[in-house]
Structure 1
């Protein structure tokens, strides 16, 4: 009797399942696979923020580590919320080609997975500013800039290019964001640094002093994390699990980054007579930024060439910004994301296998790419300048001199990332013979103090 009852229950459950479950079709399976791929890619891009945190903290001084970590975790958190509230609607809502006006708080939006993928992109754009303004910006000012970037400035650019806006209508190509994400973030960083000024001790008359980072291995780990996450950054921009496209995208991503490393290593050796580790690490990121626009549109050989050129112009870009323009960017973010972002976008006009100049397509696409780059630079420069001017007028954006010398960890958070007791005692003993003497602020500032190394020794 028990066996009969068990059989009836089993059969009934199978019938109920077959009745209630949606029919499995090729289309439903494809949708599931596509959604899974986009979610995996979004998680990889989210993990890139760990890479940014490691790179920025490793290539700056120890006394500012906690501050950088807080900026990065708050950027992804605040950026996601603001992008949910207004950014997504401005970027992908209905409009006249300039700005979206629907879809705020995802009203009427069904594809939540697409929102998640775009939200982590928005935060990536904003966090580029974090490294450039490190060691002297008020945390509150930085967070307000992040709010404006993720809620308005970046979404407008995204709408122009990816939301069906006026630049997209021209035929502009930016597959994963050399301009939309990286150039926008770099221009924003450059403008903020102009208002902010250089760190204390960076420039002394005509002399340019290098201020070394405190933990190059940590920075190297960050570069590898960013490179790993970039496979999702570019690969996920396919927006579908396309077996004919994704392997090509990941391959061009790998080869361009490798070309960037090789070129920056060789060129820095020729330029400075030694292979510079920080520049070489930066070369990977320069190659990654350079290929992001055309990763789906260029050949594997073209990707290598793009990466090689990115590695060279990266080195000269860092030196030009640091020495000629005298803009103090502690981690070289403007050169990596700005200079290489411009190159990568323009390179599509040359190396696109269908419409590129090197493939018989003429200069039409190159001209369109240049228009898009120019428009984004003008818009971002003006919008960020207005934002920072207001913040600076309202109460300033830079910490006090004493706070900068002591380090933002102590000034902004009342703590330190590392235990300084042994180092401080040793430093004081050597200078005064007394383990407990010496001014705390002065001793903290001596950790990772300025040195006359090549001015280009910096990373993202």
Structure 2
């Protein structure tokens, strides 16, 4: 009997060990599978974010003359490569390496990186920041300078702000246990959109407007250049927006793609759609206000929807109810429209509206978090309307000012110093001929048929539209003149 009891105990112990080992293996397998799934989600999100490159490229060529299309596409192609190199050498380490409150001090040149899926996802973010700037400089920035800028921006300028916001050490990060109230920003509205718009503004002021852009009358004998000939393509504008919309959802929700944040991920995707929808409705209203009749102008509507999407990059993870997303997305396009008009008044040449859309839209979203934030995450606080007081509102407002100041100083020092020794603006005659020919030896037949692509004599123009469509001041008999760029049917005076 004693022997049987000992044998039974031994059998029980063996079975318990076997069960324990089986449970351990099952748990380990689950953890590994869960980790692999998180990495796959980050890689997939990064790939979809790269669709933003294509969408932004389409939108840019929809606003530029055909003689500059190759230049625009080459710049967006090259910044994808140069931003990747800069981010690999310096950017990722400065942004996410352990270090101090200002920047990280490890992971340079890929050294000791232990999660390359996270690196790839953040590289996709970094590349988009450079492309935002590209749209404000089209038609006049020299190609070599833009290549250099893409490397410096993604390697040195942008990662610093990203470290402040999202690293465990950053002085404004809500993940820093030493910070009582950090910046509440879903997906880089400050570090990508706001910073890029400030850099774009500084570069635009230093380069000046495109040749002939703000001239009302061409006077070749007096030394002035031909009136700038506008080009518009609703086809590429709308296709570009649709591609942007595909990439914007993972742009916002990818940060919450891990299994730990699965519920937050779905909320972000839901909110992003509503932000864009509300912006579109605002665009219809703005178009009516501008034309004083029901004209559904593609540029007003697309720009307004983009303004809502930019605001969503700040707020989509903090608003828990659909009506909050609709309110923020509806309001954001109106100050964007006002600032766009203001830039035109001061002759700041931003062909695609990047400064107003990305700058003002991001500020609207960041400020709105101080009012509407209501997330249940352990890292997040409540906004003013949900009992959280002014903490988020004050912090986000202060951080906007810090990012604007940082962007002004860094971009001015970099762009001004380079321009001091090596002019970064293409000569006016090169701009008139088109950058495709001078920069890439790629002038497509039919795009530069003759001088009429740039000038028709005795025309008088006034720029009255905030979206840059030019209207002729009629002073005589009207004659329809086709434009070789298919930009506008223009009217010639006697």
TM-score (structure 2 length as normaliser): 0.80
2:190 paired residue among 179, 184, 189: 179
Which residue of the partner structure matches residue 329 of structure 1? Answer: 350
Q: Which has the higher contact order (CA 8 A, sep 6+)?
A: 1
Alpha-carbon distance change, 296 to 190 in structure 1, aligned in 2, over 3 angstroms: same
Alpha-carbon distance change, 49 to 97 in structure 1, aligned in 2, over 3 angstroms: same
1:348 partner SS: helix
Which residue of the partner structure matches residue 251 of structure 1? Answer: 270
2:284 paired residue among 242, 265, 277: 265
**Residues 39-438 of structure 1 mapped to structure 2, 5 A cutoff:** 39-164=43-168, 165-168=170-173, 169=179, 170-204=181-215, 212-241=230-259, 242-273=261-292, 274-298=295-319, 299-323=321-345, 325-353=346-374, 355-416=382-443, 418-420=444-446, 424=449
Q: What is the CA–CA distance in structure 2 between the aligned matches of 1:391 and 1:349, rounded to whole Å?
A: 39
1:384-424 per-residue CA deviation (whole Å, 9 max, x = no partner) reads 000011111111110111100001111211113x5417x83
Q: What is the CA–CA distance in structure 2 between the aligned matches of 1:343 and 1:193, rounded to whole Å?
A: 23
Q: What is the CA–CA distance in structure 1 between the aligned matches of 2:326 and 2:230, rounded to whole Å?
A: 30
Shift of 1:83: 0.3
Whether contact under 8 Å (1:210, 1:453) holds in the other structure is no
Shift of 1:453: 5.8
Whether contact under 8 Å (1:41, 1:117) holds in the other structure is yes
Alpha-carbon distance change, 206 to 371 in structure 1, aligned in 2, over 3 angstroms: farther
Whether contact under 8 Å (2:212, 2:228) holds in the other structure is no
Whether contact under 8 Å (1:210, 1:450) holds in the other structure is no
Alpha-carbon distance change, 171 to 70 in structure 1, aligned in 2, over 3 angstroms: same
Alpha-carbon distance change, 214 to 410 in structure 1, aligned in 2, over 3 angstroms: farther
Q: What is the CA–CA distance in structure 2 between the aligned matches of 1:171 and 1:294, rounded to whole Å?
A: 14
Q: What is the CA–CA distance in structure 2 between the aligned matches of 1:206 and 1:446, rounded to whole Å?
A: 10
Q: What is the CA–CA distance in structure 1 between the aligned matches of 2:217 and 2:330, rounded to whole Å?
A: 32
Q: What is the CA–CA distance in structure 2 between the aligned matches of 1:133 and 1:246, rounded to whole Å?
A: 35
2:454 partner SS: helix
Shift of 1:364: 1.6
More helix by proportion, 1 or 2? 1
Whether contact under 8 Å (1:409, 1:415) holds in the other structure is yes
Moved more, 268-277 or 389-398: 268-277
Q: Which runs of 5+ in 1 are unaligned?
A: 1-21, 425-439
CA RMSD of aligned residues (A): 2.3
Alpha-carbon distance change, 78 to 288 in structure 1, aligned in 2, over 3 angstroms: same
Alpha-carbon distance change, 112 to 136 in structure 1, aligned in 2, over 3 angstroms: same
**Residues 446-457 of structure 1 mapped to structure 2, 5 A cutoff:** 446=455, 452=462, 454-457=464-467
Shift of 1:272: 2.6
Which residue of the partner structure matches residue 29 of structure 1? Answer: 33
1:331-352 per-residue CA deviation (whole Å, 9 max, x = no partner) reads 0000111011111111110110
Shift of 1:268: 2.2
Whether contact under 8 Å (1:212, 1:457) holds in the other structure is no
Q: What is the CA–CA distance in structure 1 between the aligned matches of 2:461 and 2:62, rounded to whole Å?
A: 17
2:465 partner SS: coil
Q: Which runs of 5+ in 2 are unaligned?
A: 1-24, 174-178, 219-226, 375-380, 470-494
1:45-64 per-residue CA deviation (whole Å, 9 max, x = no partner) reads 01110111111011111111
Whether contact under 8 Å (2:280, 2:305) holds in the other structure is yes
Q: What is the CA–CA distance in structure 2 between the aligned matches of 1:451 and 1:159, rounded to whole Å?
A: 48
Shift of 1:315: 1.4
1:166 partner SS: coil
Number of equivalent positions: 418
1:287-342 per-residue CA deviation (whole Å, 9 max, x = no partner) reads 1001111211113211111110112222112111122x321100000011101111
Which residue of the partner structure matches residue 452 of structure 2? Answer: 443
1:234-278 per-residue CA deviation (whole Å, 9 max, x = no partner) reads 110114144312221001000001111110221221133233211
Shift of 1:162: 1.0
Shift of 1:371: 1.1
Moved more, 64-73 or 261-270: 261-270
Shift of 1:212: 3.2
Larger radius of gyration: 2
Q: What is the CA–CA distance in structure 1 between the aligned matches of 2:208 and 2:65, rounded to whole Å?
A: 18
Alpha-carbon distance change, 31 to 366 in structure 1, aligned in 2, over 3 angstroms: same
Q: What is the CA–CA distance in structure 1 between the aligned matches of 2:115 and 2:464, rounded to whole Å?
A: 49
